[in-house]
Amino acid sequence: MVEGDFENAPKINEKIVKKSTINVLIITIIIITGVAAFFAGSYVSNFNSDTISQEELENAIAKLELKILEKQLPTNQPTLPLKISSGNNPVIGNPDAPITIIEFSDFQCPFCAKFHMQTLPTIMDEYINKGTVKLVFRDFPIQSIHPNAVPASIAAECANEQGEFEQMYHMLFEKQKEWSNLETSYAITAFNQYASELQLNEEKFDSCIKNVKYIEEVQKDLNEGRTYGVTGTPGFFIGNEKIGFVELKGAQPFESFKKVINSQLEN
């Protein structure tokens, strides 16, 4: 099931919501078949558990998404491949991997955490740990609904400064429920505790957060994400500079990533 927090966020303080074209298309198909669902950061409503289970619903939606995705995949190298910059952003995996997943994400977004917990482990096992794919993380905190997202992004950047981005990345998502609803000052205290657990230089880390050292980097990711058409989180671009990138929106199942990656590895 495609899920995510989809809001326009060209600036940290703006509050604009926009649904993607593909999600509207999927919704139309499902309504026609008698299954009502909301996508792009929403949930199933008025659900009749006696008629169809949640798992059956998600499987049906996933199959529809894959059918739509198959029509979008290029059979040959596109004439004008979609160009997406990785920028000077944290990398998880082999820097020389032939395929890149660029993730635009919000650490406080529950659907981003869902991707991290349910889909990413399989991607790690099947591709990243084998050196065929690398993950590039770009910040897309939607502050209007996630007040702790910007501090969390800065915390991850501060950890990256000490060479521990991947560990902080995993910790922030795994412990999201722990810090997500705290007042921001208490959330920052939690981030400092995570830094201590990761054995970072605590004084350097604390100074980095207090001085919001990487706020401009976070804003840059937001701005560039908007130029690429990112309207919510999580959002992904899969490919490389030679063949271009394919976009996936929301907390897609592993099969959606597999379909794109395998097609690109064959090129």
**If you search the block for the tokens 């937001």, which residue do you land on?**
222
Determine the Cα–Cα distance for residues 209 and 172; give it in Å rounded to an integer. Answer: 15
Helix (H) or strand (E) holding 151: helix 149-161
Determine the Cα–Cα distance for residues 252 and 68; give it in Å rounded to an integer. Answer: 13
Which 3 state secondary structure label does DSSP give 266? coil
- Is the CATH code 3.30.70.2190 the one for domain 1-267? no
| Rounded (to 5) percent helix, strand, coil in the chain | 45, 15, 40
Which 3 state secondary structure label does DSSP give 232? strand
In the chain, domain spans:
1-267
Determine the Cα–Cα distance for residues 267 and 264; give it in Å rounded to an integer. Answer: 5
- From first to last of its 267 residues, what are the pLDDT tens digits of the chain? 566 665 444 444 433 333 344 444 444 434 334 333 333 333 333 333 345 566 666 556 555 655 555 555 544 444 456 888 887 899 999 999 999 999 999 999 999 999 999 999 999 999 999 999 999 999 999 999 999 999 999 999 999 999 999 999 999 999 999 999 999 999 999 999 999 999 999 999 999 999 999 999 999 999 999 999 999 999 999 999 999 999 999 999 999 999 999 999 987
**How does DSSP assign 35-66, residue by residue?**
-----SS----S--TTT--HHHHHHHHHHHHH
Structure tokens at 22: 């593909």
